Amino acid sequence: MHVYSRCLLWVFLCFGLFSALPARAEEEDPLLSVFLEGGNIEQATESLIQAINSNNFSFIRQQAIDSRLVPAGLEAGSARIVYFCNFDLMSRALAIDTRTTEFLPCRITLIETDKGVELSAVNPAWVSNRLGNHRLHEYCVKMKKDYLNIMSEAALW
């Protein structure tokens, strides 16, 4: 009985320590990013929207990063968000796991620098890794590929 309770104590301690550590997404970066050399945010946005449409996604809207947070006309010109969606994929992913909303609708953030424009997005495969739903992960890996295709295609301007 004494050995049993000691084992039980170790199990509890190990579980406690394990759950105290943040769950780490295996082999996935939290962000997907592609740098578009040269050009400005307007050109990058236009190129990105074309790439979204040619990859079977629907462009939803674009907005300045601080849209509706500052008076109209005073928004930051150097950072923008482009929203898009594939409704079929979204419906199927939501049916599997409602936590999918953590990366829906799809969004890519554009940040203009003096050397070009950086495109970045939360990596869906990173999110699904830590959600621990294997069925969802399949969709997220596909979505990650779609993001990278879109961003790479946008870089071919």
Partner 1 sequence: MVKPVCAILVLVLGAVAHAGPLTATAKTDLAGAIDGLTAAAENSGYQLVKVQPIDQALIKRGYPNPGMRILFIGKSSAVEQAMKANPKLLSVLPLRLTLIVEDERVIVSSDDLEMWKAMFPDPATVRLIEGWQHDLGLILSDLSGR
Tokens of 89: 């994929």
Q: End-to-end CA distance of the chain: give it in Å, rounded.
A: 71
Identify whether 105 is preceded by a cis peptide bond (ω within 30 of 0). Answer: yes
Which residue spans within 53-147 are E strands per DSSP? Answer: 58-64, 79-85, 106-113, 116-122
Q: Which stretch binds partner 1 (CB under 8 A): 36-44, 48-56, 87-95, 147-155?
A: 87-95
Residue 7 contacts partner 1 per CB under 8 A: no
| 17 burial type by CB count under 10 A (0-12 exposed, 13-18 middle, 19+ buried) | exposed
CA distance 88 to 84: 13
Residues 57-76 close enough to bind partner 1 by CB under 8 A:
63, 65-70, 76
Binding pattern for the stretch 91-130 against partner 1, x by CB under 8 A and - elsewhere: x--xx--xx-xx-xx-x-x-x--------xxx-------x
Using DSSP's 3-state secondary structure scheme, residue 22 falls into: coil
Residue 154 contacts partner 1 per CB under 8 A: no
Among 1, 2, 4, 19, which residue interacts with partner 1 (rule: CB under 8 A)?
A: 19
Residue 4 contacts partner 1 per CB under 8 A: no
Among 79, 96, 141, 148, which residue interacts with partner 1 (rule: CB under 8 A)?
A: 79
Binding residues for partner 1, rule: CB under 8 A, are: 9, 12-13, 15-25, 30-31, 63, 65-70, 76, 79, 85, 87-88, 90-91, 94-95, 98-99, 101-102, 104-105, 107, 109, 111, 120-122, 130
